[in-house]
Structure 1
Amino acid sequence: MDALISAAANALAAGDPLAALKRVSLRDDAPALALRGIAMAQLGDLARARELLGNAARSFGAEEPVARARCHVAEAEIALVSRDLGRPMQGLRAARATLETFGDLTNAAHAGYLDARRLLLIGRLDEAERILGDVNVDALPATSRAGYALVVAGIAMRRICAKPARDALERARAAAVSVGNAALTVEVERAVQAFQAPAARLIARGGERLLQLNEIEALIASDALVIDACRNVTRARTAVVSLASRPVLFALARLLGETWPEDASREELLLRAFRAREADESHRTRLRVEIGRLREAIRPIAEIHATERGFILERHEAGTVAVLAPPVEEEHGEVLALLADGEAWSSSALALALDVSPRTVQRALDILANNGKAEWFGHGRARRWIATCVPGFPTSLLLPAVGVVG
């Protein structure tokens, strides 16, 4: 490594991309291209950074697998920041394996952390946890240790485990302070604010109030029958009945929970489940059928009985019934919940995170844009979406995880 390359690398490590560019901006050899790419990434020009790193990886070629793998890891990190979570990150695990094979444990650990962070963003908590378990934390760069702790906190928050999340955030804050990186400190403080903000609403006995994560955890652990509108499940302690794929049944269950311990009228149930303002006999017949299906689905934790004016929910044992709902409910709230992290998302990444089709996400984004709640920049595959400054965003903490009910 020549003196200019070494000086540029030291400048980047110190967070001074302009000093690095002064040394290598006119060079087109592979190491200079890689350093220029990292410098442009630090300056925020992610498109140019990705181009330079791609050129560097090709210039290194098969004869320098470690340098090429490092470029792939840097490209993956840019894709993660750009919320381009699909194809651009597919080579990350291969790059990590190469780095481990050749003894570059620091960059290999960093690659593992990036992989776990991607999996957290798309809701694959079990896989993210497995990847974190394989990461050598002691080998991580100082800045990545704060990020590692943020991933641990994110998994705990999505699993509704308040104390592990709080402990991990404290570790992330301490790591950020030790590094002295302002951008990293801001990222940690943003995560702390998300943890401290109301994560859901409790609706019970005709009233409602906002809950923080630790209060949600306590509610789920209590003897209450919880109808969880954040994940579309009903639960009583460890017994969980998922209605995520049966929206009509969940709408009926939610109204029965909101009116408990009173009954819900047939008119209210028809309006909530079928949007039927003027019900005829066919609607009433369908209501009886759907109530029968709901009764069968939740039989392990509750019963439904007919009353003179409608239906009532009854528990098998003593205890309350509560409805847990997002802080703000509106159309396409789950898309807004992801956009609320302040980053610019691609529509394909949103579809991946929500486990829906790209066309479904695009329709939602178009509606949000027309309503002034989201906006885009860029064109074609470079288009990114952000949330406008609308108060009261729904939370992403309780977004359903892939393969995880609660």
Structure 2
Amino acid sequence: MKAQSLGSVRKSFAPWADPAAKPFIRFEGLTKVFDGTAAIDDLNADIFHREFFALLGASGSGKSTLLRLLAGFEVPTRGRIVLDGEDMTGIPPYRRPVNMMFQSYALFPHMSVAKNIAFGLKQDGMAKSEREDRVADALKLVKLENYGRRKPHQLSGGQQQRVALARSLVKRPKVLLLDEPLGALDKKLREETQFELTDLQYELGMTFIMVTHDQEEAMTMADRIAVMGDGKILQVGTPPEIYEAPRSRFVADFIGTVNIFDGTLVARDGDRLTIETADGHPIEVDGNEERGGALQIGAKTAYAVRPEKLRISASPLDGPNVMSGEVWEIAYIGDMTSFHLKLDSERIVRVSMLNSSRESAVQMTWGERAWVSFEPNAGLVLSA
């Protein structure tokens, strides 16, 4: 029988869209105050069984505090956490059905790698033969099969982090908490481990909650992403929803790279809007009924469009939303080239072009005149 690809399984996985689905984890009015400042501020969110959920935000946004509250290492000031139908209030960390991989590794220096990984299993009284099998599987997962006898100080930082990951996975808890789990790995190994983690999460039927500041990591691994700021969840959605349909200027600007044109709504023709930008460039917009429908003529607004939605040319372009300026910066990144175009208004517009052939299709250099354009439905209307 032909195996089903994980991609097709994840594509159909969307319990949050089912009104009858019961959340596996629920944060209810959760607040945590340190020295008079709310690190978590009246937060409400649902996470579902078998979901890979990412908490994404800048330093100080509250994502690690939220993880520690779920693990039981911090006590809420107000609110509660419900896990698999059970209120976690007052339940100590060692009695919670969760395991956490710490960003600081927290390995026992006097124990071998294998004994570090097996420590929790031994504490639980698991038989030696089963422990050894579990440890062998965990070592294979993180590509450290031949390192079981070494001590932590004999490993590189990246290898130590992989041991910490293996130790967190080996007990197969109901919920695995990952605090910046892949930060010390090199790029190639990090990319490989991302897919291995998502495969393992599905195979074991576990719920993963990951804290990360790495947007690409969150987009690659998570079923849904919660973007956090100032102790609040600003938006929860699938990676395409977060990237293509941000609900606020903050989320649009935080996720990836974006051009945001501030302006005023000056005309409406059905669902076609005209925005006069502060740079003096009129922007024709359509396909934004949901965001633009409530705007009145004269309203201040903003239009967000991603760099890859723009096209760039060394000769004049026809059609709507054409702008021109000087090529200010060029960055060849391998799979794509990034251009910074400086308009006559001094504004910088960012454009990304896929390098689909071995020779760049656009032959331009610094200081030359260039033109960019984008379709009316390429971006999104935001509140100003």
Provide the TM-score with structure 2 as the length reference: 0.31
Which structure shows the bigger proportion of residues in strand conformation? Answer: 2
Which structure shows the bigger proportion of residues in helix conformation? Answer: 1
Provide the TM-score with structure 1 as the length reference: 0.29
